[in-house]
Amino acid sequence: MCGIVGVLGHHEVAPILVEALKRLEYRGYDSAGIATVNRGRLDRRRAVGKLVNLSDLLVHDPLPGKAGIGHTRWATHGAATVVNAHPHRSGPVAVVHNGIIENFRELRAELAAKGLSCETETDTETVVLLTRSYMDAGMPPRAAAVAALKRLEGAFALLFLFDGEENLMVAARQGSPLAIGYGDGEMFVGSDAIALAPMTDRITYLEEGDYAFVTREGVEIHDAAGRPANREVVRIQLDQTRIEKAGYKHFMAKEIAEQPVVLADAVKHYTTGGRLNLPQGLDFSGLDRLTLVACGTAFYACLTAKYWFESLAGLPCEVDIGSEFRYREPPLPANSYAIFVSQSGETADTLAALRYAVRRSLPSSTSPRPPSRARRMRHCRSSPALRWASPRPRPSPASSTSCFCSHSRPPGSGAGWTTQASRSIWPISPPCRG
């Protein structure tokens, strides 16, 4: 998990990018970097370690420009080095990336045959080189970025910046979240609403497969098929204490200290007059079994939830590791729920397990058409208690747990959603405070 941010502004963007990256540092702190376009010239600065190292570098080697992108990295492919730090650049294009490009080895071999060799150990560099190859062939920046996107496999949020283009960013989302922020003659892009909160309260969340051309005048969004798409603009309200560390040394310490408040808020949200009031259609009373699927610390949270479900509700519950769930091909019997939990909402194995559960069966012919995969999987993250939510995404705090609920039915009757009493029940994600 990494954090990305982009700004097309009226003022110098380097300090704005650094401040936004501070709010995203919980997403990665192996390295950080920014790139800007100044008087038509693309340039970048990168540093290993925490963001303060990049700040120090910019003091001694400033990076001017009013258009820029930034990145804070949690290393996956390649060690935490300056060479592997984002933004990656080749010729006229720079890119920041959150996610994993699964077919990067095949793309590397193809690009090497064209004389474009990699300098880093990262999967992201293939995106840069691929885009450059299209630009070298005569494509303009927008077309080159879209052509590169069509070749990528995996999960990613991407942000492109181009030499000579001071009023253009290209953003794309597939499997990793990305938000567009609207200002007064300014535009912003971020992995999370919290990165953009001090700059704007108007946010559009890209949906699965979307790509967008961002200028200071606005944004032009296209869906996975290349058709113009209208995405809702939502107003966000975030308490500043939720965005910052609030005096704590790091976000984990803040999360631990916030546990009583988070749990109280979760209970309060779903109680009315002292009685439990779950979202319409969510009913655990008729279930025979519950399956919880997660990885890492979310898995440990599920172990606690298992204890609660079994001891308090008398509901049999099992916990599965997300990376093993789909390979075991577990049965998903009738009258059961499967809940998929992720702290970031981006855990690849957990999302793959969710998709497996959905694929196990098709929607019932008597049921209304389910929402799109992006709609089903859209989430809101709520720190770190396991909670249920409205389907509309809302701003998330710096640390969080996302829940995706999949109703399990026999083959042919629906998984990922179901029908009860002629009503469709969508997977539900948790509400946020604020």
Q: Please give the backbone phi and psi of residue 203, each rounded to the nearest 5 degrees, phi first.
A: -130, 140
Neighbours of 94 (CB within 10 A): 28
CATH class of the region 3-236: alpha beta
Helix (H), strand (E) at residue 136? helix 125-136
Q: What is the pLDDT of residues 2-26, one digit of tens each?
A: 889 999 999 999 999 999 888 887 7
Band (61; pLDDT cuts 50, 70, 90): very high
Q: What is the pLDDT of residues 184-236, one digit of tens each?
A: 999 999 988 888 888 898 999 999 899 999 999 999 999 999 999 999 999 88
pLDDT at 41: 95
Contact call for residues 343 and 298 (beta carbons, < 8 A) = yes
Band (115; pLDDT cuts 50, 70, 90): confident
Contact call for residues 66 and 9 (beta carbons, < 8 A) = yes
For 249-425, the fitting CATH number among 2.40.128, 3.40.50, 3.30.160, 3.30.457 is: 3.40.50
Please say if the pLDDT value at position 162 is more than 60.
yes
pLDDT at 282: 80
Please say if the pLDDT value at position 410 is more than 50.
no
pLDDT at 331: 82
Q: What is the pLDDT of residues 128-145, one digit of tens each?
A: 999 999 999 999 999 999
Band (77; pLDDT cuts 50, 70, 90): low
CA–CA gap between residue 190 and residue 199 (Å, rounded): 11
In this predicted model, which residue has the larger pLDDT, 189 or 345?
189
DSSP character at residue 434? -
Q: Residue 232 in 3-state DSSP?
A: coil
Contact call for residues 160 and 95 (beta carbons, < 8 A) = yes
Please say if the pLDDT value at position 295 is more than 90.
yes
DSSP character at residue 37? E
Contact call for residues 411 and 263 (beta carbons, < 8 A) = no
> Positive or negative CA dihedral for 241, 242, 243, 244?
positive
Sequence spans of domains, the chain: 3-236, 249-425
Q: What is the pLDDT of residues 349-403, one digit of tens each?
A: 888 888 888 887 544 322 333 333 333 333 333 333 333 332 333 333 333 334 4
Q: What is the pLDDT of residues 258-275, one digit of tens each?
A: 889 888 888 888 888 888
In this predicted model, which residue has the larger pLDDT, 147 or 245?
147
Tell me the average pLDDT across 80-107: 90
Please say if the pLDDT value at position 127 is more than 70.
yes
pLDDT at 252: 77
Contact call for residues 314 and 289 (beta carbons, < 8 A) = no
CA–CA gap between residue 104 and residue 99 (Å, rounded): 12
pLDDT at 251: 73
In this predicted model, which residue has the larger pLDDT, 203 or 432?
203
CA–CA gap between residue 388 and residue 401 (Å, rounded): 10
Q: Where are the alpha helices (DSSP H) in 169-321?
A: 193-196, 240-243, 251-269, 296-312
pLDDT at 118: 85
- Burial bucket for residue 80 (CB in 10 Å: 0-12, 13-18, 19+): middle
Residue with tokens 């309200």: 237
